[in-house]
Amino acid sequence: MSGYDSYKNPLIERYSSKEMSFIFSAQNKFSTWRKFWVALAKAEKELGLQITDEQIAELESNIENINFDDAKKFEKETRHDVMSHVKAYGLLCPNAKGIIHLGATSAYVGDNTDVVVMKQAIELVMVKFANLMKNLSDFALKYKEMPTLGYTHFQPAQLTTVGKRACLWLQDLIMDFDELEYRLESLKLRGVKGTTGTQASFLSLFEGDHEKVKKLDELVCKNMGIEKKFTITGQTYSRKQDCQVLSTLSSIAQSMHKMTNDLRLLQNLKEVEEPFEKSQIGSSAMAYKRNPMRSERISSLCKYVMSQSLNPALIFSTQWFERTLDDSANRRLSIPESFLAIDAILEIGINVTNGLVVYENMIRKHVNEELPFMATENILMEAVKRGGDRQELHEKIRIYSMEVGERVKNQGLDNNLIDKIIDDTSFKMSKEEILEIIDPKKFTGRAPQQVDQFVEEEIKPILEKHKDELGIDVDLKV
């Protein structure tokens, strides 16, 4: 069979990075299994079991040298993935094969490795996350003072600024980033707990010495770099932990979906556009089209991640007593693919936010179409200060507004409300004075100052913490 004769996972083939793909690779998984077997042997030796330095050295020298063909052959015979790798490891380590997996159950390597792999994946996600936030914060600062039409219900509302709107996206992402950081810090290994979590096998190995069994648990977890562990487990760690992690990934997807939906709307308005390469084709039929395909791809992958968060909830809620095996096949799919998709989402997001195109004249045009209506109250107040009759002037503005509304909506002409007011001497202001009143920057409130404060107080501390990881280059496959 050629490479085109079988299904290829698009998350790996088209979307996610090599780094994230490796984290969920067989090589990383099974070498981590072996690291846990080495950590167990070292801790058992330290606590008095008859294990030699030579046996440990033999195990350590073969951590990365995984004989996949042997393991595959054994699994076909045994129908047991862990025992197949115990046997395969034993072929490479004949002197140590008798102490591999000593006292442990399958979940010792399976569950603990899953946590280590999730930790590695979260750390990579955080790197991508920080780079995305750097791009957005730079964009926000650059355009913090540029007035733009705000929308509520996708109807014209009061003005905001282009930079302030970007901070709305950042605010959501910071909440996700904080949650992700908390999940990273809260990850717990299953530890060394035995078949149903009672540690009975290890208590037997250490002849009833409870302190040594407790110490064994601590030593292994410390050796593997995650000192937090569950005190209580069944045969597996609580699948609630998977729910919490994938729920956080879903939350990131929700925020990215919202942001890219906004970008798609802005591109339709011709105000802000994602990067479009010279040779890029928007449509096979309509040569003029510039589709927001990257934002659309993000939105598409976000939907997938959000839907995947249901899987661990179903798994956790239907586990029986100390464990059932109906979690295994599901977790092999839902956990890796959620991380692969989030990695792709953030990579594409970095690419998009690194090259956003802002069409200032189009933004100004939309502002000018709506601002005259918004500015009438300010004009009215200033005219009254100069001795005008409020009721009379209010009625004039009402009539002019109705005339202009008919002109704009029914005739498709421009908004000439300000011209009508300028030409009406009863307002007692010159053209220059009226134009000064309706300067768009006077209608954006504290938006520029809010951007400065937000970036300084909430974004910069995160970027400073990850300063050595900023500036990654994203090369999209498609």
> Catalytic positions, please?
153, 283
Measure the CA–CA gap between 14 and 161, rounded to whole angstroms: 36
Q: What angle do CA 162, 164, 168 make, to 5 degrees?
A: 115
How far apart CA 131 and CA 471 sit, in angstroms, is 7
Single-letter amino acid code for the residue at 100: I
Tell me which residue has tokens 């974004």: 459
Take residue 391 and report the two structure tokens written for it: 């009721």
- Beta bridge partner(s), residue 156: 151
- Structure-block tokens of residue 134: 């750097």
Query: Kind and range of the H or E element at 297?
Result: helix 293-308
**DSSP secondary-structure letter at 15?**
I
Give the count of beta carbons closer than 10 Å to the beta carbon of residue 279.
4
DSSP label at 147?
Answer: E
Phi, psi (5° rounding) for residue 59?
-65, -45
CA distance 363 to 237: 54
Indicate the helix (H) or strand (E) that contains 143.
none
**What are residue 358's DSSP bridge partners?**
272
d(CA 278, CA 112): 48
Q: What is the DSSP string of 176-237?
A: HHHHHHHHHHH--B--S--SSSS-HHHHHHTTT-HHHHHHHHHHHHHHTT---B-SS-SSS-
